Amino acid sequence: MTLEVTSATTAELPELADVAAATFPLACPPSVTPENVAAFIAENLTRSHFAGYLADPGRLVLVARRDGRMIGYAMLVRGVPDDDSVQRAVTIRPSVEISKMYVLPDNHGGGVSAALMSEALNRAPGLDAKSVWLGVNQNNQRAQRFYAKHGFTINGTKTFRLGTRIESDYVMVRPV
């Protein structure tokens, strides 16, 4: 079973949006309502949103495929937002955010996340990054352990709007 990670293409938009909609709820805390999950997907993870992401020179979308089937994706975004909390946490600049990294549940534990992370970290210098940062829900200890294993450390906190809720995230950073 061959695993490959490549840059996403416009031909993959339908499959990419489907994978995003299927995987995003998996990372949400149990307290998040289905309505808030659906609102986030509608506001951020549709085909048209991904078309915009692919056209944006400040973003890079990676897809993971095993035997031709898309099983996960990651999105890198150049820069640090104007959010004061993130500005304080991300001190090594320029930086790239790993904005999204999700894998279909039937592929968890199969090295897909590690392959996506490896490719994201390999591509970061090409986006002029000296560091990579991400936000992870403070209750998602599994993800925090994964990111720590890849060299990320908690440098601060930030909030994240999920529908009508405000979630608390750690900001994790690592040099490239």
By CB neighbour count within 10 A (0-12 exposed, 13-18 middle, 19+ buried), where does 116 fall? buried
Q: How confident is the model at residue 29 (pLDDT cuts 50, 70, 90)?
A: confident
- The closest of 77, 100, 119 to 23, measured between CA atoms, is 100
57-113 residue pLDDT tens: 999 999 999 999 999 999 999 999 999 999 999 999 999 999 999 999 999 999 999
Pick one of 1.10.357.10, 3.40.50.300, 3.30.990.10, 3.40.630.30 as the CATH number of 3-175: 3.40.630.30
CB atoms within 10 A of CB 73: 26
What is the pTM for the complete model shown?
A: 0.94
Which amino acid belongs to residue 130? K
Which amino acid belongs to residue 144? Q
Instruction: Report pLDDT for 155.
Output: 98
List beta partners, residue 135: 171
The β-bridge relationship of strands 59-66 and 3-7 is antiparallel
Whole-number Å distance between alpha carbons of 53 and 91: 25
* Torsion over CA: 64, 81, 54, 161 (sign): positive
Q: Which of 8-17, 117-126, 156-165 has the lowest mean pLDDT?
A: 156-165
Instruction: Report pLDDT for 95.
Output: 98
Q: Which of 2-6, 11-15, 29-33 has the lowest mean pLDDT?
A: 29-33
Q: Which residue ranges make up each domain of the chain?
A: 3-175
Instruction: Report pLDDT for 132.
Output: 98
Tell me 46's DSSP state: S
